[in-house]
Amino acid sequence: MNCRQATRLLSDALDRPLRAKEKIRLRYHLLLCRGCTRFGRQIRVLRQAGRAYTPGDD
Amino acid sequence: MNGQASALSGGDIDAVRRDMIRFARLQLRDEAAAEDAVQEALLAAMSARRPFAGRAALKTWVFGILKHKIADVVRAQRRLVPVGTPDEDDSLDDAFDALFAANAHWSPESMPRAWPDPDGALEQTQFWRVFEICLSGLPENTARVFMMREFLELETGEICNSQGLSTGHCHVILYRARMALRLCLENRWFDGEKQ
């Protein structure tokens, strides 16, 4: 698995349950990749921000 | 509390209403449905007879109501033809190509950096300004789908139905939105926490 695929799966994981095989391959990739680990954490911050946001903030 | 509540002017309510209308139109792409949702949310807010300590408090409260009204309308929407031009968002993909090396791993300069204190950021007014700038930098359809998922908290299936998109395409759009927003926030906010 490369980073492009891993980031896509990390995003998908916020929208659908991953299949067992996807989970295992992703987990293995994350053990070795700091960039994608951060990416996963940061898109959860985006989710948190999206929920806390009020449109048209001034 | 009551003294502060009376400080809310008609102008405050108008300003909030304008933001509500703009947001509802963007989400629903249906003028009449947007007006209705805003009207209902405002009526519900007013009938709560709750004192509001200023415009920001009123805004948070009515947007909380509007969010549910819009989500209900979106759930009832069924489009068979995609909203907008489906390929307008593809432009983002070229930008992402630059982030990855030929082997599709992060190129050294674009590897995500650590974000210091993201919880603290959400408390800062300036952060929300940056968030808004980043959001408005997305193609319109991409921004709408992202907000449906993360702000309205709709399920992906509900979003796909309302937008006339396949599930796969919905996931791609959400991926693009997250990639672009993450990068924008990192560059404009988290990278050394510069203003």
pLDDT per residue of chain B (195 residues) written in tens, 0 to 9: 444 444 567 788 888 899 999 999 999 999 999 999 999 999 888 887 777 777 778 888 899 999 999 999 999 888 877 776 655 666 777 778 889 998 999 999 999 999 999 999 999 989 999 999 999 999 999 999 999 999 999 999 999 999 999 999 999 999 999 999 999 999 999 985 544
Query: Is there a single domain that holds both residue B115 and residue B135?
Result: yes
3-state secondary structure of B6: coil
Q: Does A17 touch chain B (CB under 8 A)?
A: no
Does B90 fall in a domain? yes
The per-residue pLDDT for B45 is: 82
Q: Which of B166, B152, B176 is nearest to B75 (CA)?
A: B152
CA distance B132 to B185: 10
Q: Does B129 touch chain A (CB under 8 A)?
A: yes
A50/B103 touch (CB, cutoff 8 Å), yes or no: no
Does B81 fall in a domain? no
Query: Is there a single domain that holds both residue B69 and residue B95?
Result: no
CB A53 within 8 A of CB B128: yes
Q: Which of A23, B152, B67 is nearest to B59 (CA)?
A: B67
The per-residue pLDDT for B2 is: 43
Query: Is there a single domain that holds both residue B93 and residue B181?
Result: yes
Does A58 fall in a domain? no
Query: Is there a single domain that holds both residue B62 and residue B129?
Result: no
CATH value at residue B9: 1.10.1740
Q: Does B38 touch chain A (CB under 8 A)?
A: no
Query: Is there a single domain that holds both residue B162 and residue B66?
Result: no
Query: Is there a single domain that holds both residue B71 and residue B90?
Result: no
DSSP string, B102-135: TTSSBPGGGSPPPPS-HHHHTT-HHHHHHHHHHH
**Distance of residue B85 Cα from the nearest chain A Cα, in angstroms:** 23
Quick one: average pLDDT of A2-25?
Answer: 97
For residue B67, the chain A residue with the least C-alpha distance is A54
Residues of B within 8 A of A47 (CB-CB) are 150
Q: Which of B26, B163, B158 is nearest to B82 (CA)?
A: B163
Return the number of CB contacts < 8 Å for A and B.
98
| Domain count along chain B | 2
CATH value at residue B169: 1.10.10.10
Does B119 fall in a domain? yes
Does A8 fall in a domain? yes
For residue B143, the chain A residue with the least C-alpha distance is A50
How far is residue B47 from each of residues B18, B36, B166, measured CA to CA in Å?
A: 20, 16, 40
Instruction: List Cβ neighbours of B50 (8 Å cut-off, separation of 6 or more).
Output: B61
Domain span including residue B130: 86-190
The per-residue pLDDT for B194 is: 44
Residues of A within 8 A of B100 (CB-CB) are 2-4
The per-residue pLDDT for B85 is: 62
Residue of B93, B106, B119, B183 to mutate, interface with A, max A Cβ within 10 Å: B106
Domain span including residue A41: 3-52
For residue B128, the chain A residue with the least C-alpha distance is A57
Give residue-wise pLDDT tens across range A10-19: 999 999 999 9
Residues of A within 8 A of B147 (CB-CB) are 50, 55
The per-residue pLDDT for B87 is: 59
Query: Is there a single domain that holds both residue B33 and residue B129?
Result: no
CA distance B18 to B178: 27
DSSP string, B153-189: ---HHHHHHHHT--HHHHHHHHHHHHHHHHHHHIIII
Does B154 fall in a domain? yes
| Domain count along chain A | 1
